[in-house]
Amino acid sequence: MDTLPKHLPFSLLLTLSMASSGLLAQTLSDRMDTVELDTLEIQSEYQFNDLQVELSQSELNENLLNIYGSSRLQDLSGLAPNLFTSHSDTRGFGDVLSMRGSANSLFFSPPSVALYIDDVPAGSVASYPGELLNIASVAILSGPQSTLYGRNASAGIIDIHTRLPGEEARRALQLEYGSYDSKVAKVLIDGPMSDTASYSASFGLSSREGYIDNTFLNRTEDDRESLNGRVNFYVNPNEGLQLRFGVFAETVDDGATRLSSLFSPDPYEVSSNIAGVTELDRFQLNFQLKKQLDQGQIISTTSYQDWDLNPSLTDLDFSPLDFGFSRVVQQEELLTQEIRFVSQPDQSSTQWTAGLFYFDSKVDGDATREFLVPPNEFVPPNFIQTERTQFDIDQQNIAAYANANTTLSDKAVLNFGVRIDQNKSSIRRTKDSSNNFNFPGPPEPAVDESQSQSQVAGTVGLTVAASDTVNFIIRSSLAHKPEGYSGFTSNPQFISFDSEKLLSHEIGINFTARDELISGSLVAFFNESDDYQYERTVPFSTDFVVVNAEEVSANGFEGKLVLNPIDRLFFDFQAGYSNAKFDKHLDSMGVDVSGKRVPFIPKYTVRTGVRCELENGFFGSASYTAFGKTYYDELNQNNFAQSAFGTWDAQVGFRQDSFAISVYGRNLSKETFYQFINPEIQAGSPGAPQRFGLRLDLIY
């Protein structure tokens, strides 16, 4: 890791100065109260409250994540309506995360779905941490959230919170062994350090053999191994002040990107002569201050994050021949500072949140690509081209946001919010080319550009209570994704891309019948995007760029239902439909693709689960997750599309006091599918095959 950014000392000083003001206000005679935080326990009884059905929001706890086998961020795909992750199992690099018909691109556009963990925002989707460690809750909010959070979120937010320590020391151990020599070990220790301080430390180690066999090298191709840890210290100098110091680190030593040729009779088999590698490290420091005032609470969160991929080595032809490879080294450093004020609840008819946000990201990339050029009258046989691209892309965002709920009557609440952004970005790029014949090539100009833009976003909505159990909502929002640069071109026509504007409308109903233990919601949404950001290759070149589709629309619905028909039996169901299509757009060859579906957006998502808890300690669960047809190119060609598919999971186990053991099965129907397709190299990433495992949980 390089030296810390020059802005970091200033931001830490700002937050620490706020802390010191609270500390100095305390006299020596003040009594230091013990902080009361959540306790640690095995997620056992599957309560009705484990699933909170709310309009445009899905709430998940660790118990529910276990039912669906969700141990990584990518596993959240389908666990909220219209939430989908397309990936090649590279721990975030190259992931596309979509919601309600809006998505990031593979490499260079900002995220549509933002991520927060313990109030700390993430940078690009590539830098999102993979493993879900020590999770207390996951909230998935659909639709624009730009007036509620500092991090810009045009399509939605995943808001994760880890467990807090309790008043007594606790220890937890989780061990797991399964198919493909899969091994998982997680340790959690937490508890008080004194009357005013506590801590929480969690560590995880996971490994498995690859799903893809390399018949040429006689080895598995995509082996996986990671080690991660999170440590938080909490200090409560007085009743109205809480400080948190946090560290998160992860190191990954993986094999190849999970890719195979679309022409292969077996998607789990390649014959590459290059042993692929994916090695990366994540490191994060964060500091948070919470100060209680008479008017409300002020929260200041500072974070520094470093994501380092070194390297990602991929065979591009999946054969024993030297037809091509890609080697990427990339680093992302991120500094954020957010100060948020939340008004005191129930002190007036208007409750509001306001905040300031600072975001500074620096991405350094070094990509080498070697490939065989097909012979022609100008190119001799066996001509191998080597290209090395180096780029630095900087992005800054300063934002002010506010959101308020005001009571109009005992039946109606008005919500409104506003956000003002100032965005800046710059790029410095060079490219060197060579070949095995030492033929001179045309020099590619160096790039050194910058741009800036101001934007205004907002939301307004109305919630009406038709009765004690039925609510209606209507909301409209204007959101933006900032402009930026593509690092894999020097073409002035494509080097920069414009900001994306999203106009979103939604209307829905939410109902709850506590006596019958049933609740549900149904929301319809209507989105219109101008200058939709989409990434693609440039014809007759090796450039890869983000372009703006002039007009895109995404209309659909989201439905949720939770049932508890009899004691200890629980059902949940969520479904989403998204008709995301180009309304006005030309592909790279100038072909009008208006009316075609937007790539990386499945037509629908479905998930349903059932769980039974018996009084004698035995339990069982089963779940089904499905996705509609997904295209991966603008022409919607079927050879670059994944048809609709679904997978079944199940588990049975026994739990007593501080002990639990379970046996699970994933993809029980042996469904074969691609979770990502790359039309450029005509390859895809096959989804995880059928596998079984044994899990043990201990708390002492």
Q: pLDDT tens, 443-470?
A: 899 999 999 999 999 999 999 999 888 9
pLDDT in the model for residue 248: 97
**Strand pairing report for 197-208 and 213-214:** unpaired
Rounded CA-CA distance 306/210 in Å is 27
| pLDDT the model gives residue 93 | 94
The C-alpha atoms of residue 37 and residue 40 are separated, in whole angstroms, by 10
For residue 55, what pLDDT is reported? Answer: 63
pLDDT in tens, 414-432: 999 999 999 999 999 999 9
Q: pLDDT per residue over 570-584, tens digit each?
A: 898 999 999 999 999
Q: What is the pTM assigned to this prediction?
A: 0.91
Q: What is the pLDDT of residue 41?
A: 34
403 close to 366: Cβ distance less than 8 angstroms: no
Which of the pair, 187 or 57, is modelled with greater confidence?
187
The amino acid present at 366, given as its one-letter code, is D
Q: What is the rounded average pLDDT of the residues 103-120?
A: 96
- Determine the length of the chain: 700
Give the DSSP H/E element, type plus range, for residue 8.
helix 8-24
Please tell me the chain's helix, strand, coil percentages from 3-state DSSP, rounded to the nearest 5: 5, 60, 35
Rounded-to-integer distance, Cα 225 and Cα 569, Å: 37
Q: 20-29, 256-265, 523-532, 678-687: lowest mean pLDDT where?
A: 20-29
Residues 6 or more apart whose Cβ sits within 8 Å of residue 17: none
Which of 349-353, 361-365, 662-666 bottoms out in mean pLDDT, i.e. has the lowest? 349-353
Residues 92-103: pLDDT tens digits? 999 999 999 999
CA angle 241, 244, 248 (to 5 degrees): 170
Total Cβ atoms within 10 A of residue 656: 12
Say what the pLDDT of residue 66 is: 76
pLDDT computed for residue 345 by the predictor = 84
pLDDT in tens, 628-682: 999 999 999 999 999 999 999 999 999 988 899 999 999 999 999 999 999 999 9
Using CA atoms, how far apart are residues 335 and 157, in angstroms rounded to an integer?
A: 19
Peptide bond into 311 cis (omega under 30): yes
The answer, yes or no, to whether residue 372 has pLDDT greater than 60, is yes
Please say whether the dihedral angle defined by the alpha carbons of residues 564, 565, 567 and 571, taken in this order, is positive or negative: negative
Share of the chain above pLDDT 90, in %: 80
CB neighbours (10 Å) of residue 518? 18
β-strand 102-103 against 96-99: which pairing, if any?
antiparallel
Four-residue CA torsion sign, 90, 308, 149, 343:
positive
The span from the CA of 117 to the CA of 112, in Å, is 17
Average pLDDT over residues 122-140: 91
Cα dihedral 138, 143, 144, 148 sign = negative
Give the pLDDT score at 540: 86
What percentage of residues in the chain have a pLDDT greater than 70?
92
Residue 6: strand, helix, or coil = coil
pLDDT at 28 exceeding the cut of 80: no
| Per-residue confidence (pLDDT) for residue 320, from 0 to 100 | 95
What average pLDDT does range 78-100 have in this prediction?
95
* Rounded mean pLDDT, 74-84: 93
The whole-number average pLDDT for the span 262-266 is: 96
Does residue 560 register a pLDDT over 50? yes
Given a cut of 80, whether residue 348 has pLDDT beyond it is no
Alpha-carbon distance of 81 to 79, in angstroms, equals 7
User: Are 557 and 577 in contact, with CB atoms under 8 Å apart?
Assistant: yes
> What's the chain's average pLDDT?
90
580-637 pLDDT, tens per residue? 999 999 999 999 999 999 999 999 999 999 999 999 999 999 999 999 999 999 999 9
Q: How far apart are the first and last CA of the chain?
A: 37
Give the pLDDT of residue 56. Answer: 77
- When computed from its CA atoms, the radius of gyration of the chain, rounded to whole angstroms, is 25
- Between 5 and 246, the more confident residue is 246
DSSP 596: P
Per-residue pLDDT of 500-515, as tens digits, reads 999 999 999 998 876 6
11 pLDDT higher than 50: no
Return the pLDDT at 30.
33
Most confident option among 163-172, 512-521, 667-676:
667-676
pLDDT at 377 over 60: yes
Q: Is the pLDDT of residue 376 over 50?
A: yes
pLDDT for 469 equals 87
pLDDT on residue 53 = 42
Kindly report the three-state secondary structure assignment for every residue of 554-584: EEEEEEEEEECCCCCEEEEEEEEEEEEEEEE
516 confidence band (pLDDT: 50, 70, 90): low
Q: Which pLDDT band holds residue 518 (cuts at 50, 70, 90)?
A: confident
> Per the structure block, which two tokens stand in for 584?
């006005």
Closest Cα to residue 317, out of 373, 369, 279, 271? Answer: 271
Residue 309: pLDDT over 90: yes
CA 293 to chain CA centroid, nearest Å:
33
Identify whether the C-beta of residue 172 lies closer than 8 Å to the C-beta of residue 699: yes
Distance between CA atoms of residues 600 and 95, nearest Å:
10
CATH number of 8-699: 2.40.170.20
CB 548 within 8 A of CB 497: yes
For the cut 50, the answer to whether the pLDDT of residue 61 exceeds it is yes
Q: What is the mean pLDDT of residues 153-170?
A: 93
Give the Cα separation of 617 and 628 in Å (integer): 37
Task: Read off the pLDDT of residues 522-558 as tens digits, 9 standing for 90 and up.
Answer: 999 999 999 999 999 999 888 999 999 999 999 999 9
10 has pLDDT over 70: no
49 — pLDDT class (breaks 50, 70, 90): very low
Write the CB contacts of 284 (distance below 8 Å, at least 6 apart in sequence): 120, 246, 247, 248, 249, 303, 304, 305, 306
* Mean pLDDT, residues 149-167 taken together: 94
Q: What is the pLDDT of residue 8?
A: 40
**Would you state the pLDDT for residue 566?**
86
Spell out the domain ranges in the chain: 8-699
Distance of CA 125 to the CA centre of its chain: 6
What's the confidence (pLDDT) of residue 514?
A: 64
Query: What average pLDDT score do residues 25-50 get?
Result: 32
Among 37-46, 116-125, 145-154, 621-630, name the one with the lowest average pLDDT.
37-46
